[in-house]
A and B are shown apart, each in its own frame.
With several copies, the nearest count.
Chain A
Amino acid sequence: MKVMTIVNAVNDALDIKLGDDRNVIVYGEDVGVEGGVFRVTENLQKKYGVERVFDSPLAEDGIMGTAVGMAVAGLRPVVEMQFSGFAYPAFNQIISHASRMRNRSRGKYTTPIVVRMPYGGGINALEHHSESMEAIYGHIPGLKVVIPSTPHDAKGLMIAAIESNDTVIFMEPKRIYRAIKQEVSEDKFSIPIGKAKVLSKGSDVTVVAYGAMIREVQKAMIMAKNAGISVELIDLRTIYPIDRETIAESVKKTGRVITVVESPGSFSVASEISQIANEEAFVYLEAPPKRVTGFDTIVPLPKGEHHYIISPEKIFYEIERTVKF
């Protein structure tokens, strides 16, 4: 066991997979010499050489397109989009090829690609550096979309992502890249993609969240506890394929569900979770499925970001209202 941040954990996972599979290739903007602007790929080029870990030209479409080609030819590329806000030039390759090659070729060709991208707000960044567009990826057939919330999960999910023969969009909550430290096994282990995790058992209300929002919900849960409210917290971990079962089971028990996401609320993961509750647990619902989300606005620049960011108080406020409904 070793104390790791999410940065360390992802780095460790990449290290392990680079070590045990010669087909794993890591590239992207500044991931080689520099080790990534967040240092997630630090030291990997030194250890595995410039052929396996390298800087690409500043060309996201090209990064993604070459990854599709490499993957079809048998490699397992793990590419980095420097920020999720800069992944859009790669969108065509993601939606038109990476997610479709398997289906298009009736399984003859697969695209075992991991697309890493730091996402989310709360780091006082410039425009385009704070967005959370996971719902868009979730809506694209053929993709898996994974978001860890802890170092342990980041490592296990990253290993699973690299070992998956499907394309995985691996979104890293940069706000907690270094904020959470945890003892993580140095061995190779993986966590199944598509399985949510019940982080806390509770009886009054189910809260579904993921990524950096988990920590905020946990803060809100202290307030809830003081108010005598028992919260069941589910860490979704995978946006798609979504774990209906875990959500359904919990909502059937609590009769109430709140989803907390950083993104704009309309057409968000929160809307989806609510609808799953409708479909799976309607007769159990004692209050409307609730969403706590960002506004349907652009994430403001740092001086305005506090307005946008979801506070523990806001989460607690909605928990209380939902429980009192």
Chain B
Amino acid sequence: MFEKYNPLDNNMLQVIDNDGKIINKEFFPNLSDDQIVKAYRDMLFARTADLMIVSYQRQGRIFTYPPNYGQEAIAGAIGANLKDDDWLVPAFREMGAYLAKGATLKELFLYFMGYEDGSLFKNAKNIFPMSVPIASQLTHAVGVAYELKYNKKDNVVLTVVGDGGTSEGDFHEALNIAGVWKGPVVFVVQNNQYGISTPVSVQTASKNIAVKSIAYGIKGIKVDGNDYFAMYKAINESITIAKKENMPVLIEALTYRKGAHTTSDDPTKYRTKEEEESWEEKDPLLRLKKYLISNKLFTEKEEEKLISQYKKEIDRQFIEAENYPKYPLDDVFKYLYEDMPADLLIQKNNHEKFLKWKENFVKN
């Protein structure tokens, strides 16, 4: 795979076309029909949730949110490939992968409503909280890979970053150290062609992003990120190589952020309608659905039913999140250190004294 899709030639791994037809049998992943249908349903769930979150945000019920719209195949393929004991070190635009690892929508809602509790992922194993400082999570993954290798665990760590993130020094240090230390780590760049308003052409002059792997002596491949099969195949093979050979892999997943950067962003300021429309037929869900329908694995009716069922479930979890208990003062203090330092205790006590005073003051 890596020989055939040498990033120096700017080749891109693709398995199905825009009509959902297999154009590359050789690299069709080893997936049962059930698995494929499940993949689609998971992506559909993620998309439904994503669209609803944006509308919750418009209603003022959550704060800033970064939509995943159009990029669901990447997170889906990641999620489908990671085992419980594998590690996910995410950025912030791969909801499907979180859910697959065992995070709940309710937790994600809590996070975007402004509770740290939403980062706890109570029942999810081996998943880092979202990382807001761009690209800073990549070195964490390299550290995790060190531990996996050190303890001879048969697991992998997969980490995600955006095209913009490849400009940061962290990207370099992470991939470079990974190249030297080796270890089971897969880097996935979601190249959605923009970092907020900035096009990828302003981020780098390299032929593509996968080619950067050469600078680190690791493997690299460019993949159609809107092609679930290609993404699944690429991640699956990369994980195998990463684990067997302790060989880090860089995957560039070419995609398009159909939505805004975040709910506070207005993409019409920096990109054209034509460009946006040109990506419609490449939509990852559309393509997978075409495959499913033409293979009689799925119908539009089922989709309708699923969506309405999903909507209910999503809303249920959202309302649960809305009814989450108030954020107690204690929670501001108690998680910083294993044992609360005296100074923090004094500050908390003083604040509580003030709050008592305030009660009285406000009354009068």
Contacts and interface: CB of A to CB of B under 8 A. Distances in A.
The answer to A–B direct touch (Cβ < 8 A) is yes
A55 B343 contact: no
Nearest to A298: B336
B343 A69 contact: no
Contacts of A33: 197-198, 269-270
A301 B114 contact: yes
B24 interface: no
A70 B169 contact: no
Nearest to B131: A97
Given A33-B269, A106-B119, A86 B133 contact: yes
Given A68-B143, A69-B89, A296-B347, A57 B337 contact: no
B144 A65 contact: no
Contacts of B138: 65
Interface in A62-96: 62, 64-75, 77, 85-86, 88-89, 92-93, 96
Nearest to B346: A244
Given A69-B143, A307-B327, A59 B177 contact: yes
B61 interface: no
Contact of B196 (A29, A59, A86): A29
Contact of B343 (A75, A125, A266, A302): A266
B196 A67 contact: no
B148 to A, nearest CB: 7
A93 B139 contact: yes
A262 to B, nearest CB: 14
Interface string B102-130: 00000000010111110111000000110
B170 interface: yes
A69 B167 contact: no
A244 B164 CA distance: 44
Contact of B113 (A103, A242, A303): A303
A286 to B, nearest CB: 21
B332 A241 contact: no
Given A58-B165, A142-B337, A317-B354, A244 B343 contact: yes
Given A57-B176, A58-B164, A96 B136 contact: yes
B63 A57 contact: no
Contact of A313 (B146, B337, B344, B358): B358
B332 to A, nearest CB: 5
A62 B173 contact: yes
A156 to B, nearest CB: 18
Interface in B159-215: 164-165, 167-170, 173-174, 176-177, 180, 195-198, 202-204
Which residue of A55, A73, A166, A266 has the most chain B CB atoms within 10 A of its CB atom? A73
Contact of B116 (A74, A110, A129, A300): A300
A60 B136 CA distance: 12
Q: How many residues of B sit at the interface, in one of the four size bands?
A: 35 or more
Given A33-B270, A61-B173, A295 B140 contact: no
A102 interface: yes
A165 interface: yes
24 contacts: A30-B195, A34-B198, A59-B176, A62-B170, A65-B138, A65-B174, A69-B139, A75-B143, A75-B147, A75-B150, A86-B134, A89-B168, A89-B170, A93-B136, A97-B133, A102-B337, A105-B129, A107-B335, A128-B132, A295-B333, A297-B344, A302-B114, A303-B115, A317-B358
Contacts of B170: 61-62, 65, 89, 92
A147 to B, nearest CB: 16
A244 B150 CA distance: 42
Given A125-B63, A166-B338, 4 more contacts: A57-B180, A124-B63, A164-B338, A304-B331
B86 to A, nearest CB: 12
A252 to B, nearest CB: 17
A57 B344 contact: no
Contacts of A21: none
Nearest to A69: B143
A92 B138 CA distance: 13
A295 to B, nearest CB: 5
A65 B338 contact: no
Contact of A66 (B143, B337, B348, B357): B143
B150 A92 contact: no
A51 B270 CA distance: 18
Contact of B169 (A59, A164, A165): A59
A165 B347 CA distance: 22
A64 B64 CA distance: 28
A143 to B, nearest CB: 9
A249 interface: no
A59 B133 contact: no
Contact of A110 (B117, B338, B344): B338
Contact of A62 (B145, B164, B176): B176
A245 B136 contact: no
A92 B136 contact: yes
A322 interface: no
Given A61-B169, A74-B147, A295-B344, A103 B176 contact: no
Given A33-B197, A241-B341, A304-B331, A68 B140 contact: yes
Contacts of B164: 57-58
Given A110-B338, A317-B358, A68 B120 contact: no
B336 A102 contact: yes
B332 A69 contact: no
Nearest to A62: B173
Contacts of B141: 69
Which residue of B198, B270, B329 has the most chain A CB atoms within 10 A of its CB atom? B198
A292 to B, nearest CB: 10
A314 interface: yes
A216 B274 CA distance: 48
Interface string B259-278: 00000110001100000000
B341 A194 contact: yes
